[in-house]
A and B are shown apart, each in its own frame.
Chain A
Amino acid sequence: MTRRWRRALLLPLIAVLAGLPWALDRLVAVPEPLRLSKALFAETIDDERARERALPHRWRSDCADCRTVWYRFDLALDDLPPQTQAVLVPAQADNVAVYLNGRLIGQGGRFADPVARLGPRPLLASAPAALWNPGDNRLYVLVKAGRPDHGFMPAPGLGPEAGLRRLAQWREFLALTLPQVFATAAAIVALTMGAIWFHRRRDADYGVYALAALAWAVHVLFAMLVDTPWPAPVWDAWLATTAAVAAAAAWVMGARLSDRGPRRVAALAAAAAGGAAAVAAFAEPTGVGADVVRALALAAFGLAGAQLAWRNRQRAVALSAAGAAVAAGAVHDLAVAARVLAPDAVPALPLALPVLLGVAAWLLLLRFVETLNAVELLNIDLEALVRERTAALEAQFERVRELERERAIATERERLMRDMHDGVGGHLVSMLAMIEADDRRPAELATVVRDALDDMRLMIDSLEPVDDDLNAVLAMLRDRLAPRLRAARVDLHWDVPLLPAVPGLTPARVLHVLRMLQEAVTNAIRHGGARTLWIAAAATPDAVRLVVRDDGAGFDPATVRGGRGLANLRRRAAEVDATLTIASAPAAGTTVSIVLGLRGNASAAA
């Protein structure tokens, strides 16, 4: 809804709400033909001193100290009434009794102190046809006030009972039943809001609402009590106090709920109303103070309502309308209190304030729901944020893993290239040299090719995952050696027991070990001319010893220093942190032994 629309709707709405109390007054007023608007007034039942007074009548101006007075109505009838008649006294201050021709036909409550307070309750006294006389009839209404200043006599109605009863029921509904229902609902809502505030002290709005609604409910329900526990002045002060507290709290609440509430003014008003109520309660037992407080409280309500209506006229239409209703109700009741309106009017504020309480409850509920929604959204946002962060972290981990993988691949490629350069590359170069020299030595060429193939197979074998199992490595070597040895007619004695795991048996180390053993075997056959080969392994707790022994020609280690084969053996032994021993003597064969440590050695493995 646009702002213009709201404003256009607001003015008629306020007009309707403001006119409502007066409309209700008209609705429940005793209709003119039945109204008895004049009576003879007397302080005692002494007809000589009775004087005529217009009704409704406040007797304080005639008798400032009177608490019990009489009103006499002289009714002349030509014929007896055809149906049952009734007398309706629309409101009481504070108690009445009705007599027709000397017979009591209706009574409110207790006449002893504290006097029953009938307040806005209508009294309907039935006057059966049998009680009427043709000609003169005399109707007396006895009125007793709790305090002299309460005293007044409304204009009673006299007529057929059925119509008046309906009117009485209407008045009772508007003045009693409806406010009671509202007050009870307000009390329940107040308890709920109070519970919320109790668990959420930071949110003062709920507490202020609870105070306003509860004070109001107490005021309304107590004001309707017929038999009061305390004397009238104290009871009046108590009622005034509850009204003042409700007014102040309602004002503060309205200010807080407004978009831009004048909070300081609200607090001052609350303090003023509360202070006035307290003064009235204890300083002025005669009751004038109570009226002042009541007037102040009503004025406060009116101001608060008007302010609410004005403050929220543009955005919170409901709050503005409720403020208007309260203001209208307060002005109406203030008019009654100031005797501008007849005192038998139905109090309007008990009907108007529940509108404000309802709107405020609705707003607070909306706010509560909005808070819940906001929290939910926040949670969703938080979850999304966590998911986002998790994804980012995962991506980062993935990147790190990727880098590690790339580095591992690069390292492995470098190693493979070095190994190929060492092995196949060298063989291919010597093959090329032999072919270019055109020596036509196919047997030698075949040997070099076989060596190249063998070396490639060693490389492939070394890439097998062996899980630190040296037995597997040696078994692979044996499978590779066997055909070559058979072809060379060399006997192989294989003596390898089950060996313990050798930690850090990486492909690089495996290849070094395989090439050392292969080298030893090749040397034994090619250079030593061996016929028998022993390959053995043995384990100690700390090491594994691998031995290649042959029955070939042997050599003198003191004189034979060089040889590419021996140099390679030493280099590889150093690379895998193995201890290499070569024992040989001319005509006594050669024994090559390689000792591998069982303590894992990361630097050797790298």
Chain B
Amino acid sequence: MATVLLLEDDPATRERLAGIVAHAPNLALAAACGDLAGALAWLGSHPAPDVLLVDLQLPDGSGIELIRAARRMAPQAESMVISVFGDEAHVVAAIEAGATGYLLKDASAEEIATAIERLRAGEAPISSAIARHLLKRFRAQEAPAASAPSASPLTPRENEVLQLIAKGLSYQRIADTLDMSPHTVTTHIKQIYRKLAVNSRGEAVFEAMQLGLLPRAGS
């Protein structure tokens, strides 16, 4: 049974999603908040939930702040963005803050339950468009350090995986193409997510994690 914290400002959508979570056999709704302040307050005063479903555009701020706070206060919790369009600019920003996937707001009860289960099972859902954005993002990070090849944040293998996802290949197909198991593909994707989160937060945070001052991402 996984506990879920829901943050969504539109009452109808919040009610719908809360209902779906409450009725799903393996999920339990811990809380459903309508604004950022309420969610942050709840997170600070209750045991950490297993999953956070976070809307980004809120009346009193950005859901990204809650994702960041969760990384700090509940490192083992998984965050998912809920979005109308799943447009990349928002989702990639959320991933950089520590989210590991996204849900469309009109997804069916079944889809939502399946996605959360998969997330809990260690899978990292990623769309082709987001993969393309990640490739671009990593390339941009690489560019200034072109003189030092070791500065590239992705391994060649991770780069290949990301490229095939961007081309629309299924995990099975990617596994066949790269001669690995589908589970390994998932591992690579999780690693990529982690690197994106690390790379986007500046050297100070990275150094702090290296020194053990901050918990490592996703561990």
Contact = CB atoms under 8 A, between A and B. Distances in A.
A487 interface: yes
Given A471-B168, A475-B166, A461 B129 contact: yes
A457 interface: yes
A472 B128 contact: yes
B106 A472 contact: no
B88 interface: yes
Q: Which of B88, B108, B128 has the most CB of A within 10 A?
A: B128
A464 interface: yes
A464 B135 CA distance: 14
Nearest to B110: A487
A282 B173 CA distance: 119
A468 B129 CA distance: 14
A460 interface: yes
Interface string A484-507: 001100000010101000000000
Contact of A457 (B85, B108, B166, B168): B85
B146 interface: no
Nearest to A537: B168
A476 interface: yes
What is the size category of the interface that chain A forms with chain B? 20 to 34
Centre residue among B107, B165, B168 by max chain A CB count within 10 A: B168
A476 B88 CA distance: 11
B88 to A, nearest CB: 7
B195 interface: no
B118 interface: no
B88 A475 contact: no
A487 B128 contact: no
A476 B128 CA distance: 6
B111 A478 contact: no
B139 interface: no
A483 B108 contact: yes
B170 interface: yes
A479 interface: yes
Contacts of A486: 111
B86 A483 contact: no
Interface residues of B, number: 20
B59 to A, nearest CB: 23
A453 B128 CA distance: 19
B179 interface: no
A30 to B, nearest CB: 96
Nearest to B125: A479
A494 B127 CA distance: 16
A248 to B, nearest CB: 78
Contacts of B180: none
A478 B128 contact: yes
Contacts of B107: 483
Interface string B161-192: 00001111010000000000000000000000
Contacts of A449: 106
A487 B111 contact: yes
A479 B110 contact: no
Contact of B168 (A464, A487, A496): A496
B132 interface: yes
A456 interface: yes
Interface in A451-465: 453, 456-457, 460-461, 464
A111 B59 CA distance: 126
A127 interface: no
B108 A487 contact: yes
B104 interface: yes
Interface in A414-454: 449-450, 453
Given A472-B168, A494-B170, A479 B106 contact: no
